[in-house]
């Protein structure tokens, strides 16, 4: 048996098209475009690539993109001052501060300064709390993207056994909350979990968000399970190559013979993250203007 491939790239493209159509309707109703502000501190090359890509996709969806770059030496007061200014700016619906921040800046304090209703990354404790109690807020983009892929493939998730490997605030924990809301029986595994292969073997749904290349093996997977691989890991380069291959947290070659469906890396969860960010920004714009979402 070879698992069905879950094509996150195609799904994300469809989502961006929907967001684009709704963004046009919003602009006509509100008399302005929905706007996303992205703040980058320092010159980390990977962060620069992400920020550029977010800006490009925001504009391609018919929304306004505001990029703010601060030097790596920026003080906490500079950064918090900029966030306050964006909080007050009516043309800005969503604010995203690209992480990681330079060491001298306190991430939690920075996130706490973003107005919760503009926190399209869903990292503010108000939004984490809203998710935990089932109130409307903003949900972190990567786990929400994983949930969309799962529902697209499986429909009703109710009663399914789900194992989330990883308990970070940005992926594992919100993923577990979302699956619980869908009435799955959820287990959250982490580095102290005993007999991880045995725990994973019970699962109808496996979400791996660990950051360890190809850790989840074929003999951990129940026949026919749906496997969502969040991990993005670069292997060391082969002799003569510049860059190593990108792999997930799942041993794709082995697991695809056992699973019912699996996301590839790249082309699975990765493309969903920015598409969901655009969706969250559009939702923020509707809420900020008090305009009903067309669909
Ligand atoms: P973190 O490093 O914050 O969390 C990793 C989690 O994995 C921790 O909870 C840790 O447990 C757990 N873990 C580590 N080693 C093991 C092990 N041997 N067995 C079981 N659990 C283990 O990572 P993130 O959640 O931020 O990211 C996870 C992965 O997802 C990374 O590869 C990252 O690059 C990728 N990612 C991809 C995104 C996308 O857009 N596709 C977006 C965000 C992340 P403990 O808590 O006990 O330490």
Give CA–CA dist 4/226, Å, rounded. 9
Q: How far apart are alpha carbons 189 and 164 in whole angstroms? A: 6
- The pair of three-digit structure tokens given for residue 256, joined into one six-digit string: 């695809």
Rounded to an integer, the average pLDDT of 194-206 is: 98
The answer, yes or no, to whether any atom of ligand 1 lies below 6 A from the CB of 228, is no
User: What are the structural domains, with CATH classification, of the chain?
Assistant: 30-118 (3.40.50.10860), 141-271 (3.40.50.720)
173 carries an active-site annotation: no
Percentage of the chain exceeding pLDDT 90 = 98
Binding residues, as ranges, are 166-168, 232
Model pLDDT, residue 292: 86
CA neighbor of 19 nearest in space, from 269, 268, 272: 272
Which residue has the CA at smallest separation from atom 47 of ligand 1? 191
- Does the pLDDT value for residue 280 go beyond 80? yes
Q: What is the mean pLDDT of residues 191-217?
A: 98
Whether ligand 1 lies within 6 angstroms of the CB of 169 is answered as no
Q: What is the pLDDT of residues 36-73, one digit of tens each?
A: 999 999 999 999 999 999 999 999 999 999 999 999 99
- Residues 251-267 have a mean pLDDT of 98
At residue 187, φ and ψ (nearest 5 deg) are -115, 130
Instruction: Give yes or no: 119 in active site.
Output: no
Is the pLDDT at 1 greater than 80? The verdict is no
Instruction: Please state the pTM of the whole predicted model.
Output: 0.97
Residue 132 Cβ contacting ligand 1 at under 6 Å: no
Q: What's residue 136's pLDDT?
A: 96
Query: Is the predicted ipTM greater than 0.85, yes or no?
Result: yes
* Residues 233, 30: Cα–Cα separation, whole Å: 42
Token duo for residue 216: 């989840």
Name the active-site residue from 98, 118, 204, 229: 98
Residue 293 has pLDDT above 90, yes or no: no
CA distance 111 to 24: 29
Q: Which residues contact 226 (CB under 8 A, 6 or more apart)?
A: 6, 150, 153, 154, 204, 205, 206, 259, 260, 261, 262
213 lines ligand 1 (CB under 6 A): no
Q: Which atom in ligand 1 lies closest to the alpha carbon of residue 211?
A: 32
Please indicate whether residue 54 is annotated as part of the active site.
yes
**pLDDT at site 132:** 97
Q: Is the CB of 187 under 6 A from ligand 1?
A: no
Q: How confident is the model at residue 295 (pLDDT cuts 50, 70, 90)?
A: low
Q: Which of 119, 121, 229, 249 is catalytic?
A: 121
């Amino acid at each position: 048996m070879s698992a069905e491939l879950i094509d996150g790239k195609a799904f994300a493209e469809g989502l961006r098209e929907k967001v684009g159509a709704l963004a046009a309707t919003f602009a006509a109703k509100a008399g302005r475009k929905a706007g996303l502000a992205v703040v980058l501190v320092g010159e980390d090359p990977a962060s620069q690539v992400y920020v550029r890509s977010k800006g490009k996709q925001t504009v391609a969806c018919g929304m306004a993109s505001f990029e703010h770059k601060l030097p790596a030496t920026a003080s906490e007061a500079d950064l918090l001052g900029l966030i306050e200014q964006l909080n007050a700016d009516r043309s800005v619906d969503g604010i995203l501060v690209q992480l990681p921040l330079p060491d001298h800046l306190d991430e939690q304090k920075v996130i706490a300064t973003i107005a919760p209703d503009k926190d399209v990354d869903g990292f503010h404790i108000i939004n984490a709390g809203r998710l935990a109690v089932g109130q409307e807020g903003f949900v972190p983009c990567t786990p929400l993207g994983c949930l969309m892929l799962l529902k697209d493939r499986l429909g009703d998730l109710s009663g399914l056994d789900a194992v989330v490997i990883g308990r970070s605030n940005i992926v594992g924990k919100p993923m577990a909350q979302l699956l619980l809301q869908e009435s799955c029986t959820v287990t959250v595994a982490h580095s102290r979990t005993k007999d991880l292969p045995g725990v994973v073997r019970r699962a109808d749904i496996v979400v791996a968000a660990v950051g360890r290349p190809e850790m989840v093996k074929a003999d951990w997977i129940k026949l026919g399970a749906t496997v969502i691989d969040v991990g993005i890991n670069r292997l060391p380069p082969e002799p003569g190559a510049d860059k190593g291959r990108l792999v997930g947290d799942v041993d794709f070659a082995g697991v695809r013979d056992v699973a019912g469906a699996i996301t590839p890396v790249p082309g699975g969860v990765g493309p969903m993250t920015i598409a969901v960010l655009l969706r969250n920004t559009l939702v923020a714009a509707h809420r900020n203007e008090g305009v009903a979402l067309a669909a």
